[in-house]
Chain A
């Protein structure tokens, strides 16, 4: 079964440049927000912004949004595994 063609959706230069603007913008936001003391949610906000940037890179630059479902399942399994490791380790650390 010669299945050589990769993506049906051909992204153009324009889409990538818009994503890039989004990434730069988010970086500027996260850098300026860092100075503001939001207490314990500072970290959460910074990580949310980082996660959004990662999603932009993953979905558009890495084409994940347009790939078949298998790839999305793979990356989800990976992230869930990492989160499990984090959460269970903290079940020890936070209750010592």
Chain B
């Protein structure tokens, strides 16, 4: 068939309705279909995300006044710890790979599923168990860890809170991440459709591939570090405890050796999605495909070299501070390559403005602010003043939430019709996104000012001079959260009552847009044959029924 559309078998069932070995709830809980697993991740993730959002709202309510507003200091410590643990390990790190990577990566490479479908299901169970452990730790004797999500020793060894359970939750979640990375690397190496060379893969897949390598190699390091905390607390071994000869800085090194690369696990898939959305709405091939693909690998590599910038004031040597500061500036380069190429892709394109592109525009603005403030922190003289202040809190919310979070929302709005076969109300989506952007910037930009003026992070009390700014931040949080609630309510409404979506509502050129909405269980009738790159608009890039067409 010309231009790559397929004649759908009128009786072909989508993956929701095709009868498998199990029925009812078991058809979900025992599935090995990557699409169902992706949706199960989405379901669990929404519960964890909104739990952590609630914790955040509570935190901001507490910070409305300098004294005790709604909770005790000990509670506040546990709440900001759990807010961080849940957001980072249950939303930002797994978010895009586990939901959209699982659902779309096999389709985008022309495969029926991932390399190890049962391992994929195991990853999901580990994810859910880890999340449950984290939440349960809040209600156990001692309460959730009150150490901050960074679990620094010696406090994490001494604290009477239930640090071990919170840490164990993070360990289990790390395992889930490792197995997903392993699965994706093998899938991408072994299961690409005929004709799909490495440089004909969609850039989303490149982003997932680079991410998978970080997941694979960095996560075990925090795995062992977390295990050591539990062992240290249980047996008093003496490897971290300074009273017994341990070095707290070695802990910090091991912790950040993972946790810095982790931020690239968070953002690389998001960058990949941006590289999908832009050519679709610019109706034009992406500019500098090869450079964007390779920059993903470069970011992954350089990301391993910079962790010390989290430790500038901890007591590490001057030599290492200079080394890490220099390396930190380097990582901005491949990121800059991406941003310039995206802008160049839009230039002279035949742009169609629609909801996913709106989210991407918001991302560009927000992430640029986040990235630039990272440079301020990477410079030693400025960092000494800003470290452990609200400036840092503003920075990481800009890049993590404003970066990955905005693109997670964008992915939902881009791929919604494909996943669910329905369309949402676009006008409400625009309004929700606008509210989100306004609230986000009021809330987090003010934090830069707070931090610059000296307000420390994780503090429960504060001096009167910071009061007005804190109130502004909290009001910003209300605007932002209302935007998020409207967004999800709109999506839910679209799911239940939305109009039926076409196969390709946005005019995308990658393989997922060449299969029905929603796709059938095995994704394709026949393995497609790839004859051109992923973003060509003016000619056929895939032959969907090579058996029929070529013989």
| Touch A–B, Cβ below 8 Å | yes
Contact indicator A96/B317 (Cβ below 8 Å): yes
Please classify how large the interface on chain B is, using the bins under 10, 10 to 19, 20 to 34, 35 or more: 20 to 34
- Interface code B390-423, partner A: CB below 8 Å = 1, 0 otherwise? 0000000000000000000000000000000000
For the complex, give the distance between the alpha carbons of A32 and B382 in Å. 54
Q: Which residues of B contact A89 (CB under 8 A)?
A: 250, 253, 257
Complex contacts, A8 vs chain B, CB 8 Å: none
Instruction: With CB as the reference atom, state the residue of chain B lying closest to A85.
Output: B257
Closest residue of chain A to B221, judged by CB?
A: A85
Of chain A, the residue at the smallest CB distance from B311 is A92
**Shortest distance in angstroms between B313's beta carbon and chain A's nearest beta carbon?**
13
CB distance from A49 to the nearest CB of B (A): 26
Known: A77-B213, A92-B317, A96-B316. A70 touches B189 (CB 8 A): yes
Q: Does B213 contact A91, Cβ atoms closer than 8 Å?
A: no
14 contacts between A and B (CB under 8 A): A1-B194, A77-B213, A77-B217, A84-B305, A88-B307, A88-B320, A89-B253, A91-B323, A92-B253, A92-B320, A94-B317, A95-B320, A96-B316, A96-B317
Residue A44 at the B interface, CB < 8 A? no
Contact A84 B304 (CB under 8 A): yes
Chain A: minimal CB distance from B194 (Å): 8
Chain A interface mostly: helix
Residues of A contacting B317 in the complex (Cβ-Cβ under 8 angstroms): 91-96
- Measured CA separation A88–B303 after assembly (Å): 13
B242 to chain A, nearest CB (A): 15
Q: Who on chain B is nearest to A89 by CB?
A: B253
Instruction: For the complex, count residues of A whose C-beta is within 8 A of B.
Output: 15
Expressed in whole angstroms, the minimum distance between the Cβ of A68 and any Cβ of chain B is: 11
> Does A10 sit within 8 A of B, measured CB to CB?
no
B38 at the interface (CB under 8 A from A): no
Complex Cα spacing A77 to B218, Å:
12
Task: Name A residues whose Cβ lies closer than 8 Å to a Cβ of B.
Answer: 1, 70, 77-78, 81, 84-85, 88-89, 91-96
Residues of A within 8 A of B253 (CB): 89, 92
Total A-B residue contacts, Cβ distance less than 8 Å: 41
Q: Which residue of the partner chain, among A1, A81, A92, A96, contacts B217 with CB atoms under 8 Å?
A: A81
Find out whether the CB atom of A91 lies under 8 angstroms from the CB atom of B305: no
Q: How far apart are the CA atoms of A88 and B307 in the complex, in Å?
A: 9
Establish whether residues A81 and B320, one from each chain, have CB atoms under 8 Å apart when the complex forms.
no
Rounded to whole Å, the gap between the CB of B486 and the closest CB of chain A is 43
B534 in contact (CB, < 8 A): no
Rounded to whole Å, the gap between the CB of A35 and the closest CB of chain B is 28
A85 touches B318 (CB 8 A): no
**B181 interface contact, C-beta 8 A:** no
Q: Report the Cα distance A81→B302, complex, angstroms.
A: 11
Provide the B14-41 mask, 1 if CB < 8 A to any CB of A, else 0. Answer: 0000000000000000000000000000
Q: Shortest 8 CB-CB distances between A and B: which pairs?
A: A95-B317, A92-B320, A95-B319, A91-B320, A92-B316, A96-B317, A92-B317, A81-B217
Taking A91-B319, A92-B317 as known contacts, 10 extra A-B pairs with beta carbons closer than 8 A to each other, sorted by chain A number, are A77-B213, A77-B217, A84-B304, A85-B304, A88-B305, A89-B257, A91-B323, A93-B317, A94-B317, A95-B318
Q: For residue A95, which residues in chain B have a CB less than 8 angstroms away from its CB? A: 317-320
Q: Nearest CB to that of A91 among chain B residues?
A: B320
Q: In the docked arrangement, what's the CA distance between A73 and B38, Å?
A: 30
B532 within 8 A of A: no
Least CB distance from B245 to A in Å reads: 15
Residue of B nearest to A96 (CB): B317
Q: Are B323 and A88 in contact (CB under 8 A)?
A: yes
Contacts of A78 in B (CB 8 A): 217
Give complex CA distance A45, B510 in Å: 54
- The answer to the question of B249 belonging to the interface, with a C-beta cut-off of 8 Å to chain A, is yes
What CA separation (Å) do A90 and B308 show in the bound complex? 12
Which residues of chain A are within 8 angstroms of B318 by Cβ–Cβ distance? 95
Residues of B near A77 (CB, < 8 A) are 213, 217
Q: Which residues of B contact A1 (CB under 8 A)?
A: 194
